[in-house]
């Protein structure tokens, strides 16, 4: 019971319980659930995703 893993969110500094979430692409560390939902996931959405080649992420870009 006393060994529940905790850590400090690398984005907001709050303590999270369990293992937190991968904070990439914003940070290499771990973040709390709140930051994951409000910061990390939106950041991922706005990044180009390599493994969805037939999906147009941002039609305003002219990379190809
Ligand atoms: Zn946080």
pLDDT in tens, 24-53: 999 999 999 999 999 999 999 987 766 655
pLDDT value of residue 50:
66
Question: How many angstroms separate the most distant Cα atoms in the chain?
Answer: 54
pLDDT at 39: 97
pLDDT band at 61 (very low <50, low <70, confident <90, very high): low
Q: Which letter does DSSP use for residue 47 in this model? A: S
Residue 57, pLDDT score: 60
Question: pLDDT value at position 33?
Answer: 95
CA 44–ligand 1 middle distance (angstroms):
16
Q: In this structure, which residues have their CB less than 5 angstroms from ion ligand 1? A: 9, 11-12, 31-32, 35
CA-nearest of 26, 63, 60 to 43 is 26
Please state the rounded mean pLDDT for residues 8-33. 95
Please state whether 29 falls in left (phi above 0), alpha (psi between -120 and 50) or beta.
Answer: beta
């Amino acid at each position: 019971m006393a060994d529940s893993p905790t850590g400090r969110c690398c984005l907001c500094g709050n303590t999270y319980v369990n293992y937190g979430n991968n904070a990439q692409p914003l940070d290499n560390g771990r973040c709390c659930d709140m930051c994951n939902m409000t910061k990390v996931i939106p950041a991922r959405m706005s990044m180009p995703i390599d493994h969805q080649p037939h999906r147009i992420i941002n039609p305003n870009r002219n990379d190809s």
